[in-house]
Amino acid sequence: MAIKKFTAVYYRISKKYKNNIRMQKKFCREYCHSKNITYFKEYEDIGFRGNVINRPALKELLRDVEEGVVNRIVVYKVDRLGRDFNYLNSLNESFSKSGVNLVSATQNFNFGTREGKFILRILMVLAEFESELTSSRIVDGLRARKG
């Protein structure tokens, strides 16, 4: 008997902002509804920065991908998976090898095409850049406080 595959919906927020997680859920659930996706499992990591790869829900998602029960992963934006280019790229390669499609509920690109893969890599680089920029601003702010 064939395994019934499902869509995985992944959420991540850096801090415990309930409105942010609700917003992600709203967009991802609306996406699923618009595509008639009724069989999905949600994974939620709260309080983890994007450059942290050791996240409980992400680990569970990756186990499910490895077990072959996931056929699609929906995220609010690609940077929800992470903010390190090399890690995001390796995740995407792993998903592709497993036959899993990565979809962003708000970034309307087909990541399965040549053009979509190109855009995905740009989004990955931008996610890493944004993380580094934020870190730099925090360090600058701390230095300014010390006087």
Per-residue pLDDT tens over the stretch 45-91: 999 888 888 999 999 999 999 999 999 999 999 999 988 888 888 99
> Which residues sit opposite 13 in a β-bridge?
46
CATH number, domain containing residue 15:
3.40.50.1390
Confidence of residue 97 (pLDDT cuts 50, 70, 90): very high
Q: Domain range for residue 29?
A: 6-146
Highest mean predicted confidence (pLDDT) among 2-6, 30-34, 104-108, 128-132: 30-34
Token pair for 96 = 């592709």
102 part of a folded domain:
yes
- In the prediction, which pLDDT does 140 show? 65
- The domain total for the chain is 1
Mean pLDDT throughout 31-44?
A: 95
- In the prediction, which pLDDT does 37 show? 94
Mean pLDDT throughout 19-38?
A: 93
Q: What element of type H or E holds 44?
A: strand 40-46
1 part of a folded domain:
no
**Over the stretch 101-145, which tens digit does the pLDDT of each residue have?**
999 999 988 787 888 888 888 887 888 788 778 767 776 676 777
Cβ count within 10 A of residue 86:
10
For 100-113, b/e burial (b = at least 16 CB within 10 A) is bebbbbebebebee
- In the prediction, which pLDDT does 41 show? 97
98 part of a folded domain:
yes
- In the prediction, which pLDDT does 144 show? 74
Q: What is the pTM of this model?
A: 0.84
CA angle 15, 22, 20 (to 5 degrees): 35
Q: Three-state SS across 83-96?
A: CCHHHHHHHHHHHH
